[in-house]
Amino acid sequence: MRLLAASLLVGAALTISACGGSGSDTASVPSTPAPTTSGASASKGSAEGKQVFVANCSTCHTLSAAGANGMAGPNLDQLAPDEATVKAQVTNGGGGMPAFSGTLDPAQIDAVSAYVASVAGK
């Protein structure tokens, strides 16, 4: 299953050149997942994560919960990535996706990563 997910991620990343690119072919993935939030802070983070996604990711990615139907990048509802994978991809870019570490601050990256992981494929 991991091989399938990795293959889908790599294949999809190659198709998103319309979203820009940093020339990097790979993204490093942290070996431990990022911590998650709960309660009121999770609700606030979810709202911020959705806002960051709509403003920065929806042009290229499909994610039903955000009302996004982007066609250039992977369909996140089908891919259903975990939070650590989203965070690494958003931070470092890879394939045709640009890195957003220079565009988004760490709190925004955490928020969008948690949001995507919590709603993708649901």
Which residue ranges make up each domain of the chain? 2-119
Summarised one tens digit per residue, pLDDT across range 15-35 is 333 344 444 343 444 444 444
Residue 23 Rama label (left phi>0; alpha psi -120 to 50; beta): left
The correct CATH number of 2-119 out of 1.25.60.10, 1.10.760.10, 3.30.479.30, 3.40.1350.10 is: 1.10.760.10
Looking at per-residue pLDDT, the higher value among 120 and 3 belongs to 120
pLDDT at 43: 59
Predicted local confidence at residue 116, as pLDDT? 97
Question: Cβ distance 88 to 29 under 8 Å?
Answer: yes
| End-to-end Cα spacing for the chain | 18
More confident of the two residues 35 and 85: 85
pLDDT of residue 95: 85
Instruction: Report, as an integer, the average pLDDT of 67-88.
Output: 96
Res 85 pLDDT > 80? yes
Mean pLDDT of the chain: 77
- At residue 26, the pLDDT reads 39
Q: Mean pLDDT: which of 20-24, 35-39, 113-117 is highest?
A: 113-117
pLDDT, mean of residues 42-49: 76
According to the model, what pLDDT value does residue 122 have? 79
Q: Are 24 and 92 in contact (CB under 8 A)?
A: yes
